[in-house]
Amino acid sequence: MKFSQHLGAMKDETKKNEFLGKLFINFKRSDKAYKMYMQNNKQFLFAKILKDCNDRILDLLVENSYLLSDELIKDSLELIFHLDIWIEKWNYFEIEQKPKIDDSFAFENEHTFPHDAVQNLLKEFEATRDS
């Protein structure tokens, strides 16, 4: 491997690690927001925080999933598809319902959250952090 190729591979690995780290913290933030949402009568305040997390996760995935293995790209696409639908519904129902910050805010989504895909992405983060 040429030196320039080696540097390029190191740069990609650094980008991948940074991406996975940002994804990890947004997953953890999202988990916390969802727990607070469920514990507080699905309050709009926590729904807004969850929406912000999901927007950030979607942006990270769309911009950086190419750095991952083919299998993890499939997982990323599962999550991207879910978030695309969830965000569109969230935006629609926010306009429709016009909730106040303390109001309950919920809507149906038949496209369930891809837990396995998220777990696979989290495992990849843990593996890169441990190496």
Note the pLDDT tens digit of each residue in 90-107. Answer: 999 999 999 999 999 999
Per the CB < 8 A criterion, the answer to whether 11 and 67 are in contact is no
Predicted pLDDT of residue 7: 43
63 alpha-carbon distance from chain centroid: 12
Cα 52 from Cα 30, distance rounded (Å) = 9
Q: How far apart are CA 58 and CA 38, in angstroms?
A: 22
pLDDT score of 5 more than 60: no
Rounded to two decimals, the pTM is 0.89
Q: What is the mean pLDDT of the chain?
A: 92
Encoded tokens for 76: 């990323």
Is 60:80 a contact under the CB 8 Å cutoff? Answer: no
Q: Distance between CA atoms of 94 and 71, rounded to whole angstroms?
A: 35
- State residue 64 phi and psi, 5-degree precision: -130, -5
Q: What are the tens digits of pLDDT across the range 48-85?
A: 999 999 999 999 999 999 999 999 999 999 999 999 99
Contacts of 54 (CB under 8 A, 6+ apart): 30, 83, 86, 87, 90
- Identify residue 12 by its one-letter amino acid code: D
